[in-house]
Amino acid sequence: MKRLALVTGAVLIAVLGFAAPAAAHVTVNPTEATQGGYARLAFRVPNESDTASTTKLEVVLPEDAPVASVSTMPVAGWTVAVEKRTVNPPVEVHGSQVSEVVAKITWTAAAGGGVKPGEFQEFPVSMGPLPDVQRMVFKSLQTYSDGNISRWIEEPTEGAAEPEQPAPVLALTAASASPAPAAAPGSSDPDSDSGALPITLAIIGLVAGLGGLVLGGLAFTRSRRTET
**Which pLDDT tens digits describe the chain residue by residue (228 residues)?**
555 555 445 444 444 443 333 458 999 999 999 999 999 999 999 999 999 999 999 999 999 999 999 999 999 999 999 999 999 888 887 788 899 999 999 999 999 999 999 999 999 999 999 999 999 999 999 999 999 999 999 998 888 898 999 999 999 999 875 555 544 444 444 444 445 555 555 566 665 555 555 555 555 555 555 554
What is the C-alpha separation between 120 and 153, in angstroms, rounded?
19
The predicted pLDDT at position 87 comes to 92
pTM above 0.75, yes or no: no
The answer to whether 52 and 145 are in contact (CB under 8 A) is: yes
Burial class (CB in 10 A: 0-12, 13-18, 19+), 29: middle
The predicted pLDDT at position 181 comes to 54
The predicted pLDDT at position 2 comes to 57
Identify the CA nearest to 123 among candidates 46, 36, 38.
Answer: 46
The predicted pLDDT at position 78 comes to 98
Identify the CA nearest to 66 among candidates 40, 95, 92.
Answer: 92
Q: How many CA atoms lie within 13 A of 31 on its CB side?
A: 5
The answer to whether 91 and 130 are in contact (CB under 8 A) is: no
The answer to whether 133 and 35 are in contact (CB under 8 A) is: yes
Backbone Cα Rg of the chain:
37
Q: Which residues have C-beta within 8 Å of that of residue 24, sequence separation ≥ 6? A: 46, 48
Torsion region of 120: left, alpha or beta (phi above 0 gives left; psi -120 to 50 gives alpha): beta
The answer to whether 125 and 28 are in contact (CB under 8 A) is: no
Determine phi and psi for 7, rounding to 5 degrees.
Answer: -65, -45
